[in-house]
Structures are given as C-alpha cells and as structure tokens.
Amino acid sequence: MNRKIRVVPAILTEDPQALERMLRQVSGFTDYVQIDIMDGEFVPSRSITWEHIASLPVRLKWEAHLMVVHPEEYLKGFKQAGASKIIFHHEAAVSPQPVISRIRKLGLKVGLAINPETPVAAIKPCIGKIDSVLLLTVTPGFYGSKFIPEAMDKVSELRRIQPEIEIGVDGGIKESNIQEVASAGVDYICVGSAVFLQPDPAASYRRLQSLIQ
C-alpha cells in the first residue's frame, strides 16, 4: 500500500467524564481524534456537546463529526471548542453548499459525510469545495454496528472524480477487516469500539495501525 493511511480514534459518548477519560487515553498514542456529535434526531442516540469539549483542556487536534439535523446551527460552537475540521452529513443539510461556505468562513477544514445508502452522485457538485469525504460503513449512531462492505465501492468512484480528495471511512472496522478497508485506497480509518472497548486501547490502536503499514 503506497498511500500512507492513518487510524483515527473516534470518540462517541454521552458522558462528559468518559470524554475526559478517553481524551487522556488517546493523548498517549495519537495526536488526532474524531469526536462524534449526535442530537437524538438525525440518529437515535445523543452525545456530549461542544460545551463539554470546550470545558476540557484538549491538547490534541480533532475533527467534529456532526450527526445532527441543522448542522449550520452547530458551527460556531465547534469553532469555539477548538475543532480543526467539521464534518457534516449530506443527508442532514437542506443544501450543503451554504454549510460548506459557513465552515470555510470560520477558517476550518470541511468534510462531508454520507451514509451507506447515499450514492456518490449525490455529493458530486460539492466534491471540489470540500477537504474530505467520510464514508459511513455502518448505519450511524452506535458503537459496534455491523460493517457494510458495499459502502467501500464508493472509494474508487470518488477517486475517479477527484483523485486527490481525502477519503475517510467510519464504522464497524476492526482487526479482521482493516486490511481490506485500507486496500481500497482510503486515507484514514476511524475506529471506535476496536480501540476504546478493548482492555488496552493503546495496544489495540498500535496493532490496527501496524496491520495497514
């Protein structure tokens, strides 16, 4: 695999104390994380908020993955909390273009996420205006959801449209399938339960990263 691929720990919790604990854990083995934000509407679950993140001394770089309706209402808060990139769902925005413009005006990187059932064609008009695409390989909202391999077919389609676009995948990825996922040509792989629900999160992270070198 010629492409340098990175494992990105994905933090998903509704407990502010668990958030603080997970951030402390990952600071020992990575310098970049994704924090999942859920509103109980776009997905059934709820999570911590930007206010919780802002109240902590977060020393890592991090991106916010917004699984929320009306993502435009969250942008200033996550800028204030210190996000370096905001990823929002195509399915959650009435029109993605204004949301992209607002994130840009805040000086942040922009990512667009799509659920497994959403085709690449739906986001084609936006691809030249964003920094990354996040392909959901599970139905979003829960740790431990079942991996949907067909979603990986979108990687080659995205590469044909915009060869240099950064592509991430998120959901259901673990030791048994991470090499297959990496071989599709992605840039980063978000991993939640395969890191945080293991006895030794640091060792699990390093094992996953070693499998894709």
Q: pLDDT tens across 25-69, in order?
A: 999 999 999 999 999 999 999 999 999 999 998 889 999 999 999
Q: Is pLDDT larger for residue 213 or for residue 132?
A: 132
**Strand (E) or helix (H) holding 211:** helix 201-211
187 is a catalytic site residue: no
Average model confidence (pLDDT) for the chain? Answer: 95
Distance CA 112, CA 140 (A): 14
**144, pLDDT greater than 70:** no
**Amino acid residing at 137:** T
In this predicted structure, what is the pLDDT of residue 146?
A: 87
**93, pLDDT greater than 80:** yes
* Fold adopted by 6-211: TIM Barrel (3.20.20)
| pTM given for the model | 0.96
Percent of the chain with pLDDT over 90: 92
170 is a catalytic site residue: yes
Strands 32-38 and 188-191, bridge-based pairing: unpaired
**131, pLDDT greater than 90:** yes
In this predicted structure, what is the pLDDT of residue 172?
A: 93
pLDDT in tens, 145-185: 789 999 999 999 999 999 999 999 999 999 999 999 999 99
In this predicted structure, what is the pLDDT of residue 163?
A: 95
Measure the CA angle with vertex 11, ends 13 and 49; round to 5°.
55
In this predicted structure, what is the pLDDT of residue 143?
A: 64
Say whether 126 sits in a helix, a strand or coil.
helix
Q: How confident is the model at residue 117 (pLDDT cuts 50, 70, 90)?
A: very high
**1, pLDDT greater than 60:** no
Of these residues, 36, 39, 153, 200, which one is catalytic?
36
Of these residues, 15, 39, 153, 170, which one is catalytic?
170
In this predicted structure, what is the pLDDT of residue 2?
A: 60
In this predicted structure, what is the pLDDT of residue 61?
A: 97
Distance CA 84, CA 103 (A): 10
Average pLDDT (1-17) is 89
Bridge partners (DSSP) of residue 35 are: 11, 64
Give the burial string for 115-152 (b: 16+ CB within 10 Å, else e). Answer: bbebebeebeebeeebbbbbbbbbbbbebebebbeebb
